[in-house]
Every structure is written in structure tokens, then in C-alpha cells.
Amino acid sequence: MPDSGLFYKEWKQNKALLIMIFLVFMLSNPFTVLNTYISYQGCVANQNEWVGTCVFTINYLNGTFISLFWIWGVVLAVSQLGIERSKGLFDFTLSLPYTRGQVFNAKFMMGGMVIVVSQITGYGLAVLLVMLLKPDQVANFHHYSLGMIIISMLAYSLVMAGGALTGHIFAQLLVSFTVTILPFLVITLPAINMDILFGGRAGFLDFPIPEWMQYIFPITYVVPNWVEDSPHYLVIPAVMSIMFYIIGYISFVKLSNERNGYFFLWKALDRPVQVIVIIIGILGFGYFGYAASESFAGYVVGMAAGAVIGFFISYFAIYKKTKQL
């Protein structure tokens, strides 16, 4: 358990951001209910001018502020790890009489409490408003409100893990984004290329992806349509959040801080990741070359361009040190 001194340091260092995120999380849910009610009252007041019947309906699938909650998890994780590391403040933090595990847990628990407690409070206030205002219909309210707590924690734990592995903000965000589409890169993209090589006879793309499998793509949760499917699928992002926390904790504890400014803190990752980036570039640009020209020659040209682009992107991103802020 982290010492109270670490919580105090984390609070003082990120107080303004923590308060802002807490208020946004807490107020957005009841504000959504209230805003819908105000729109309904406006319809009633001008019913003679509008066509149709005014119905007080709360449907969280029709665009709410809550759908952007995952962004604040990203912002908080970047502030706690990426910005602090880029500013060179970790030397002071790690010089304090605490273990690296305590430092990481203090950051994670502080961020997690802000994300979870504020949203639960906002959900409770929204429930009270729904009971008070008595809308004609409520759709996707409970599922979406509670689901966004899990998804916000997924985004937060993912970016925290990315920050524990990398040496600056750009690397943290790039690694985190890559992980959100990783199932596509390792499953769908190779299958598409195999289908091209076999002239469509490989059959890899003939079978539709099972509905549950799309939920192993973290990027799926950016679009709010997930709320229409079974609430049991939310177990997947909950498990992924725990997994990313474990990865972040182990990385923060085991990796040194001496590679500040480099892409990865663990030097052994540099070469394998560069090779993977080049392979993804080859497969990705090969597919686009084939799609643009509808010929195997375009596929080969695209693969060659992808190899060159992948090499230069990986080289300058991974091997070139970034100056601290």
C-alpha cells in the first residue's frame, strides 16, 4: 500500500487536472439528463410551431458527453507518466524513500479513484434526476453509464502501461494507439494479404468475425454502439484493464529510468519492434497498393514502399532520442 506522502505529492503535482477531470466526470451524466429535459420543455413550449408529438426520451446511444470519457483517462495517464518523464521530474520522484512499486500504485490508485468515484457519483445524481423528472422512456442509461466507468479505466490503464514502457509522451501515445488496433494488425491484416496471395482462394475472409471477438479490439469502445450488445461483453475490457495494470506495474518496477528521451526504456525491445513495424508497413501498403491498382504489380510496389516507409518511421521514432521539455 502506498504511503500517504506519495498520495499527497501526486495530488499537489496534478491537483488542477485531477479536480477538473473529477468535476467533468461527475457533472456530465446529470447534465445530459437535464439537457434532455430542457430540450423536451422547449418542444412543449413551441409545440404549435413544431410538427409531431413531444416525447421526453433519454437515450444514451444518441450522442452524450459520456461517450468522450475515455479521452480523460488518456489525458490523466499522459500527465502522470508521459509529461512527468518528459520534464525530467522522475529523478526526484524516484529519489524519494519509496519503492518503484509504491510510486506506480500511488499514481494508479489516485487516477483510478478520480475516474471511478466521480463517475459513480455522477451516475447517482443522474439516477435521482431520472426519478424526479420521470421521463417517458429511458434507453441504455444504466448499461452505458456503468460501462463507461470500465471503458474509462481501460483507456487509463492502457496508456499508463504505455507510459511505463516508453521514454516520452509521443512514444506513450503511439504504443497505446497501436495496442488498441493490435488484433487487426496481427489477425486481420495478415489474413487480407494471404487472401491476396492466393487470389481469394485462401478463404480467410469468408467467415465473419464472431460478435464477441470484436470486443478484444480496444478501439471498438470508442464508438458507443457497443451499448446495444450484451452487457456481459463488458467483462472483456474489465479483464484487459487488469492485464494492462499488471503490465504497467511490472514495467515500471523492472525497467530503469536512465533511457529518458528514448522510445523504449527497455533497449531489448528496439530491434524486435522495428522489425514488426517494417512487416506491418509491408503488409499494410501492399494491401493499399493492390486495392488501388487491382493488380499484383501494385501489390508488390506497395510492399516495397511499405518496407522503406516502415524502416524510416521505426528508425527515427525508436533510435532517435527526444529532448526533454
Say if CB 66 and CB 33 are below 8 A apart.
no
Residue 106: closest CA among 243, 239, 254, 5: 5
Q: Is 191 left (phi over 0), alpha (psi -120 to 50) or beta?
A: alpha
* Grid coordinates of 131: 426519478
CB burial of 1-18 (b: ≥16 within 10 Å; e: otherwise) equals ebeeebeebbeebbeebb
Question: pTM higher than 0.75, yes or no?
Answer: yes
* Grid coordinates of 143: 448499461
Query: Residue 164 contacts by C-beta under 8 Å, 6 or more apart in sequence?
Result: 81, 104, 247, 248, 249, 251, 252, 255, 265
pLDDT of residue 207: 60
pLDDT of residue 38: 86
* Burial category of 125 from C-beta neighbours within 10 Å (exposed 0-12, middle 13-18, buried 19 and up): middle
Helix, strand or coil, per DSSP, at residue 166: strand
Say if CB 141 and CB 34 are below 8 A apart.
no
pLDDT of residue 265: 87
The continuous run of DSSP H or E covering 265 comes out as none
pLDDT of residue 76: 95
Say if CB 285 and CB 302 are below 8 A apart.
yes
Specify the DSSP class assigned to residue 57. E
DSSP 128-154: HHHHHH--SEEESHHHHHHHHHHHHHH
Say if CB 325 and CB 85 are below 8 A apart.
no
Distance CA 126, CA 64 (A): 13
Residue 101: closest CA among 245, 297, 204, 218: 245
Chain centroid, CA 206 distance in Å: 30
Length of the chain: 325
Averaged over successive runs of 10 residues, the pLDDT of the chain (325 residues) comes to 80 90 93 88 71 78 81 93 82 84 92 95 94 88 91 95 90 91 82 76 60 81 83 90 95 82 86 90 86 82 91 86 64
pLDDT of residue 196: 79
Distance CA 35, CA 60 (A): 12
Residue written as cell 496508456? 159
